Structures are given as structure tokens and as C-alpha cells.
Amino acid sequence: KRLGGCIIGTVILLLSIPPLTSQALEPRESRTVKDSRGEALTRVKRGWVWNQFFVLEEYTGLEPLYIGKLHSDMDRGDGSIKYILSGEGAGIMFTIDDVTGDIHAIQRLDREVKAQYVLRAQALHRQTGRPLEPESEFIVKIQDINDNEPKFLDGPYHATIPEMSEIGTSVIQLTATDADDPTYGNSARVVYSILQGQPYFSVEPQTGIIRVSLADMDREVKENYSVVIQAKDMGGQLGGLAGTTTVNITLSDVNDNPPKFAQRLYQMSVPESAPVGSAVGRIRAKDRDTGINAEMNYSIIDGDGRDSFDISTDPTNQFGIITIKKRLDFESKRSYTLKIEGSNTHLDKRFAKHGPFSDTTIVHVSVEDVDEPPVFDAPAYFVEVAEDAEVGTVLKTAYARDPDVANNSIRYSIERTSDPGKYFYIDITSGALMTVRPLDREEVPWHNVTVLAMEMNNPSQIGSVSVTVKVLDVNDNPPQLAQYYEAFVCENAKAGQLIQTVTAVDPDDPLGGQHFYYSLAPEAANNPNFTLRDNQDNSAWVLTRRGGFSQRDQSIYRLPIFISDGEQPVQTSTGTLTVRVCSCDGSGGVLSCDAEAYTLPTALSRGALIAILACIFVLLAMILLMLSLRNQRKKPYLCDEEENVHENIVRYDDEGGGEEDTEAFDIAAMWNPRGTHLGRFRQDMLPEIESLSRHVPQAAVAGAGIGGGTGGVHGYVLAKLLEADHDPGAPPYDSLQTYAYEGEGSVAESLSSLQSATSNADHDYDYLSDWGPRFRKLAEMYGVLETSNPLCCLY
């Protein structure tokens, strides 16, 4: 590199010498010339000479790299001239000696980063700084060295070629990039070679095209290849730099392999009850190819089961699925043989020599016996029967058989949900379907009955068939008026005036359609008021025979109409047309059809009538209320001597107030047994008979509710009894008071007859006289003692 610098410096110096040509730079003096007009022109010769500078890249020396020298012919070597440098990289990449003009590179240069630098130089007077020469540009070009190896920018690469490709088939073209200068030397001249991948592939040295170099490469043997390619500069010579890349090559599939079945014979079985369309089994012809090259088509090409079975291809995994095409019957045929072919759907003529691309196999299908339900001789039955058929008429005899070899006996029945009206019955052994109730087409025109057939030995096996029964029409219904007809006729109507059009309906449905005939009933054939005209279109007109109708004479006429149909047997009926006589205006508008309207004042409206009736109703209600209140007055009541008075019963002629009567009983007394309510009387009524007061000891009253148990209850009862004796307004009024502890501590014990087992006739009451004066009255009532008082008072 130092040598290069010297050479450049020499060149520079040589360039500083004016060339000896007519175009050469002349010495620095003025030359005067004349133009075409004779005027003098002065040209000053350039003072110094310059050119391009060249420097090698990647200098690694310790000293600055000398590039060249700038020199002005005005420089006498006395140091009066100062050289300055400006432009790209001045002061950073390049420096100049301001006295000698020597230019050096002070940093490492890389052509691949920047190939040239544009600089500007100028010579100044050192003392005054005055420019001695005009500023001029020059270029420093970086010369290339081989410092960059070739590179594959897009690697690693992937390529795909069909298997069985011929030798020379292009796979992929690679291009390596060298950053060195392709115009300078061989630094960027790249040569390609293959380092890995022989003998399958090769590469062209100049173009980088990879080609197949081995014939009949089979994907099914080896699918993927890894090829290493080298790119070397300097034309591949020794010392050149090299770069490598990897190319992954995949062989794509072609249809070069025929399908093959794994077995020559397949065994399958299927129950005879399997439905049509169900799968029996599946087979597969294996193909080493993939994708569309392995797609299969299966077909049955021979065998006795071609009509009973079918085969289809599963597109997902290329299986052949055998299905049932026709219903199987073990009793008819127990096995089938199928010859099945599997073939490729996409063929490649280039590899026809590897064929044929199909294979065949045999499939043996065995039918398994299944206990099947009974089968009827028809899928459905249709029966027509007249609605007047007698009960017990046989409509149809259903027949079913057991399809199995055992041929079990059959029993028939009707599914009751299909015959909710229970119109039919079927013989359990013969299958004869008959009626058990009269049929009526107008009620149920169609019957859909399900007949069941069951095996005797296996009741779970049940077959069924639908029997459709159409009930045929019979003329068994008389025609009737289509509706309730009520017509009116005006008092001023004239003879022959139409007052009503009547029609009839008949639930029967004859084949020729309905035909009705109208006439007046025989008892009204000579009716002087109205006549009837049959229109012969299933309608009739009712006309007036006369005029001059009057509401006062007769306000309502009832006209019997005789109707008959045209079918056999003929059915007839009589309907009634009600005709009201109304008063009408001049245009025929009805004013009133009520005869009583004539007796009312003309100014009395319907609203006034309603108001009068409402007042009458209110008055009646008030009268009834007053009578009810009067009946509630209390009357004295005499007891019946023959009545059983063993219970402490007080009778009143008034009913109690019920649940809503809050004045009859104070519930607070039940919660506070010690409380007293003496002096409280009902305000609404008073009893006529007060209970006779017993003397209740105060000690018993004070001890009520104390201590609990039997004594507490006894005290509570005594307290309530005392309150009832002194409070005529307290209950009961119409009630029964039963004291569970009555008679305790008394010689009479309990006086209740509820526990008595004897009647009045055989019961002896003589012991009442032994109980003392307190039971004297009681003894008198039962005849033990003589008394002159016939009245009794309850104790």
C-alpha cells in the first residue's frame, strides 16, 4: 500500500507537469488575443493542476495512509502558501499538510460503506489569507479489495419437484450476492458448487441452477433431501472467499403405485333385521400414494349379492363401506358373495406402465337369524262400510305370519288408543275385524285402527298394521231448518208479500248432493194467512196470503213447515216459523212488535219502565227486611217435661251471632282465668232465662289456675261458672257447655247422660232423694218427689 501511495504521488506530480499538446496548460502568464471584431481578450492560465486520487480500502497500518499531494506552481517552497481541505470527510477521514499539500487518510476506509469522497482544495496566502487560486473539487475513490464473501440472502431455500422426474429437471436457481466491486478484478466473480446432495442433484457453476442428476427418484422410498450449495468468489480460485446455503428439496407425489387389498377374502355378518341403508362392514385397498393420487372408487363387479348390497367410498379415509340395499331374510337366503374392485380415480398416463391401477377382493356376507315380529300380508288395509251396518259385521280379516323358521302362532288385538270409542273388535285367533257399536258417519266419518299381531311364544315380538275404515253415508238424518227463524209482518202488509226465505240443512252427504222439498204441514195446508213457495233450489219463500193484520187481534203466528229430502229412504221433519205482527211506518220500517205497547201512555219510555220496576223491587226488599227483624223478637219458652234435661242446657229462641258476632263471647277470658267480667251485658239481646246461681266458694275462685293439674282446671271451671251465673250477657246463648270435672266432690258425681248405658225406661232415679236439699228440684223433675209446679227450670 505504501508503494501504491508512491505511485499515486508520482502520477500527481506528473499531472502537475503541463502536457505537450495544443490543449496543454501553458505557463502562468497572460496571453492577449483578438476576437472577430478586433478587440483584445486576455486569458489567465490556471495556476495548478489536479485529478482524481485512488486509495485502497481496509488499510490496517499504524501510520496515516498517504493518498497524494496537491501543489500550486505559485508555491516557491518558502512556506508562504497555505493549503486547506474541505468537503466529505475533511478533517475526519482525510487531512492535508497545509505547507506541503500532502493528503493522508486517518481512518480505515471501506468501499462497501462509501465508494468515493468529494473534496474541495484551495491555496491561500499564509499571511493575508487571500486566495491565490480558485477553489476546485477533486474526488478520492476507494479501490476494492476482496474482503467480502458471497452471501445467499434468502436462504435456507425450499423446493418441490415431482417424484420420478427426469435427469436435468430444473429444481431451483440460487443467486449469491458479493458486496465487492464487480468492475474491479475477480473479487465479485462467483462460482457455484454442490457440497452435499450428490448423486441426486447437481448445480450449474455459473448460473446456480440446481438440477436432477438421478433418474426415478421415488417419494415412497425417500421424500426429503437436504442439499448444500457453495458460492465462491475470485472465480473459484484458491484464496477466494466462499459462502454456503441449504436447499431442502421435497419430492411431491404422483400416481405411480396401484392400490392393493390387504386380504383376498373378507368375512362379514349382518342380522336379518338390519334396516336398509345400514352398514355391514368396510374394506380398504391401500395405496402408497397420497392425496388425490390415493383416492379410490369401490364397486361390486360380480357376485350373487349385487342386488342386495351396495358399496360407497368414504372420502375421508378412502374406506369402502358395504351397506344393505334390499331387506334381508335369513329364511330366504343365508349368505351372499361379493366381488369388489377398488381403483384409482386419477390416473397419470406417464406411469401407465406401473399399472393396472386397480385391485379386486372377495367379500362373503353371512345373514344371521333374528326373532322377528309377525308380518302382515299387506302394509295397510282400507275398508268401506255403510253407517247402518249391523253390530257384528265383519269388516276385514287381517292376516299375519311369523317370518321365522319356528312359525309361532299369532294372536291379534286392537291398540286401544287407536279406537278410543271402542267401535271395533278383532277375533284373537282369526284376525276378523268387526263392529261392536253402531257406526255414525255424521259423528265419526273415518276410523284409523291399529291391529297388533303378537307371537304366542314371545310376547315381546309384536307387529302392527293400520286399518283405515271409511264410513259410507246412509240417508238416516231428516233435514232441519238451517236456524231458528223469526219473521215479522207489518199490519199494513199486502197479500203476496215476501216475509221470510227459509233454508234447510242435512248432516247426510248424498252422492248427488242435497235436494230439499218444502211445503206447509198438512194441518196448515189451508192457512188463510200465509202460504209457502218451494223455489226448487233448496230454499223456500213464505208469503202473505192476505193483508190487514192487526196486533190487537193476534200478535204471533206459528207456521209449521214440512221438509223432506230426495234420498231413499226419504227423511222428513217439520220446523216452525214464528211470525210477529208489527206496526210499521210507511216505508216498511218496524216501529213496534209488542201488543202491550198500545195500553201504555205514548210518553212513557223504556227507561221510565225500568225505573218503576226498580222502585218496586226496592220496596219489596225493605218489606222483607222489616218482617225479618220483627221475627227476631224473643218469646218465652216453656220446657217440655218429657225432654231429657240431664244436661245443663239453656235454650233460646234466637240463633247465635256466629263467627262474626264479636259481642257474644270475650276470648280474653280464656287467656285470663282469674279475670272477672261481672256486670258486662250484651247490648243486642238479653236471655229470658237466667241460669240458677250456685254458691261458689271464694276460696275455690281465688285458687283457680293455681298449681296446675286437676285442681287448677277445677278452679278455672268454677271461676267461669261463677262468672256465667252473674253475667246474663255472657255465653252460652245457643250453645252447649260441658264441664269435664262436673260433680267432683259431690255425692251425685257426674250428672251427664253422655256416658249412660241405659234409657229413661229402665233407669231408677230414686237415689236423687238421697242427695239432699240441693237436688230437690232435680228429684221433683224426675218424679221422685211430688210437685205441683209443671214448669221446670234448668239447673
b or e along 457-492 (b: 16 or more beta carbons within 10 Å of the residue's beta carbon)? eeeebebebbbebebebbbbbbbebeeebebebbbe
**How do beta strands 375-376 and 358-368 pair?**
unpaired
Burial of residue 574 (number of CB atoms within 10 Å: 0-12, 13-18, 19+)? middle
199 prior amide bond cis, ω within 30: yes
Q: Do the beta carbons of residue 123 and residue 75 sit within 8 Å? A: yes
**Cis peptide bond prior to 356, omega within 30° of 0:** yes
Q: Which three cell numbers stand for residue 338?
A: 361379493
Look at residue 579 in the predicted model and tell me its pLDDT: 93
Within 10 angstroms of residue 575's Cβ, the number of other Cβ atoms is 20
* Number of residues in the chain: 795
Q: Cell digits for 281?
A: 362392514
Reduce the secondary structure of 70-83 to three states and give it as a string: CCECCCCCCCCEEE
**265-271: strand order across its sheet:** 265-271, 358-368, 335-344, 296-303
The strand ranges marked E within 406-555 are 410-414, 424-426, 432-435, 446-455, 462-472, 480-481, 486-490, 498-505, 516-520, 530-534, 539-544
Q: Is 344 exposed, middle or buried (0-12, 13-18, 19+ CB in 10 A)?
A: buried
Rounded Cα gap, residues 244 and 150, in angstroms: 8
Q: Are 316 and 326 in contact (CB under 8 A)?
A: no
3-state secondary structure of 409: coil
Backbone φ and ψ for 206, nearest 5 degrees, come out as -90, -35
CA 168, CA 99: separation in Å to the nearest integer?
69
Distance of alpha carbon 674 from its chain centroid, rounded?
Answer: 73
Peptide bond into 732 cis (omega under 30): yes
3-state SS assignment for residue 52: coil
| CB hemisphere CA count around 453 (13 angstroms) | 27
d(C-alpha 699, C-alpha 704), whole Å:
9
Enclosing H/E stretch for 243: strand 242-252
> What pLDDT was estimated at residue 391?
93
DSSP string, 273-297: TPPTT-EEEEE-EE-SS-GGGG-EE
779: three-class secondary structure by DSSP: helix
Residue 763: C-alpha distances to residues 510, 642, 780 (Å): 86, 15, 16
Cα(274)–Cα(368) distance, integer angstroms: 10
The sign of the torsion formed by the CA atoms of 580, 583, 587, 590 equals negative
**Which residues, 6 or more positions from 456, have their beta carbon under 8 angstroms from its beta carbon?**
408, 409, 410, 411
CB of 206 closer than 8 Å to CB of 190? no
Q: One-letter amino acid identity for 271?
A: P
- State the pLDDT at residue 530: 93
236: three-class secondary structure by DSSP: helix
Q: How many whole angstroms separate alpha carbon 188 and alpha carbon 180?
A: 5
Is 691 exposed, middle or buried (CB count within 10 Å of its CB: 0-12, 13-18, 19+)? buried
User: Per residue in 311-332, is it b (16+ CB within 10 Å) or e — as a string?
Assistant: bebeeeebbbebbbbeebebee
Q: Take residue 618 and report the three cell numbers written for it.
A: 226496592
The residue ranges of the chain whose pLDDT is under 50 are 1-35, 42-49, 597-602, 634-648, 667, 669-709, 758, 787-795
Contact 187, 144 (CB under 8 A): yes
Mode of pairing for the β-strands spanning 539-544 and 498-505? antiparallel
Buried b (16+ CB within 10 A) or exposed e, 81-98: bbbebebebbeebbbbeb
Residue 30 confidence (pLDDT): 43
Q: In 345-475, at which residue ranges do the beta strands (DSSP E only) sit?
A: 358-368, 375-376, 380-386, 394-397, 400-401, 410-414, 424-426, 432-435, 446-455, 462-472
Report in angstroms the alpha-carbon separations of 257 from 220, 254, 284, 350. 9, 8, 15, 12
* Three-state secondary-structure class, residue 375: strand
**Contact status, residue 301 vs residue 341, Cβ threshold 8 Å:** yes
The position carrying cell 240441693 is: 774
All three cell numbers of 628, joined, read 225479618
Please name the helix (run of DSSP H) or strand (run of DSSP E) that holds residue 622, with its range, or none.
helix 606-631
CB 228 within 8 A of CB 245: yes
The 3-state DSSP class for residue 3 equals: helix
Owner of C-alpha cell 493549503:
83
Instruction: Write down the pLDDT at residue 298.
Output: 94
CA neighbor of 410 nearest in space, from 423, 426, 395: 426
What's the distance, CA 530 to chain centroid? 69
Q: Is 777 exposed, middle or buried (0-12, 13-18, 19+ CB in 10 A)?
A: middle
Q: In whole angstroms, what is the distance from residue 123 CA to residue 135 CA?
A: 8
